[in-house]
Amino acid sequence: MTSKPVSTYFAVALLALNAALIGVNWYLHPERAGKWAVALVAICLALIALAFGKRLTDKGVRGGGTSIANAVVFACVMIATTLAVKLAMALGAPISADFTNRETMALICAFVAFFGNGIPKTLTPLSSVQRAARLQSLQRLAGWLWVLDGVALTIAWFVLPQRVAGAMMLVMLPATALFVAGRMVWVCRTRERMA
């Protein structure tokens, strides 16, 4: 798993899947038409964002289209899994409300791991070798911490009681964010002292 650019076509396919799932859910539960309509509007907005991202890429703006496509794919996967679970429940599958909550939180944690995986691959312009070495070290550390957090929490949301998994998430994610931010400040202050 690398952080290669996500194809716009893959994002469009996911949007189409989401639209289909909304359509089927709307047919099965017409009394919730308002919610399904809002979901469809969100799909249309995501499509517009994708088109805008593609224009940025065509104009040569580095990374713009990729970031938008990645965000749309992330949102689509979240929505698609929720809609699929709702559809399964409507069709009589023995799925508890507990499972839908666990699945949503586990997906969020899995995406934390996914984006953490790509942090060391984002290179900044090279100003000096010493600075690049410190930044590289910081990016590797941040990437590893987010991946380990994400994987541990994803497993926790499926295996542990929800209260415990929720508490773990509330402790681990902010602690990691604070630690990485602290290291970043330390790297910047070290650079200033050496300058």
Can you give the length of the chain in residues? 195
- Which of residues 127 and 162 has its CB atom nearest to other proteins in the complex? 127
Instruction: Please identify which residue in 102, 105, 120, 138 interacts with other proteins, judged by CB under 8 A.
Output: 120
CA distance 120 to 140: 5
Which range in 12-20, 24-32, 40-48, 123-131 contacts other proteins by CB under 8 A?
A: 123-131
Q: Is position 143 an interface residue for other proteins (rule: CB under 8 A)?
A: yes
Q: Is position 180 an interface residue for other proteins (rule: CB under 8 A)?
A: no
Instruction: Please identify which residue in 34, 129, 193, 195 interacts with other proteins, judged by CB under 8 A.
Output: 129
Per-residue contact string for residues 145-174; x = within reach of other proteins by CB under 8 A: --x---------------------------
- Which of residues 2 and 96 has its CB atom nearest to other proteins in the complex? 2
- Which of residues 48 and 129 has its CB atom nearest to other proteins in the complex? 129
Q: Is position 132 an interface residue for other proteins (rule: CB under 8 A)?
A: yes
Q: Is position 7 an interface residue for other proteins (rule: CB under 8 A)?
A: no
Residues that bind other proteins (CB under 8 A): 1-4, 116-121, 123, 126, 129-130, 132-133, 136, 140, 143-144, 147
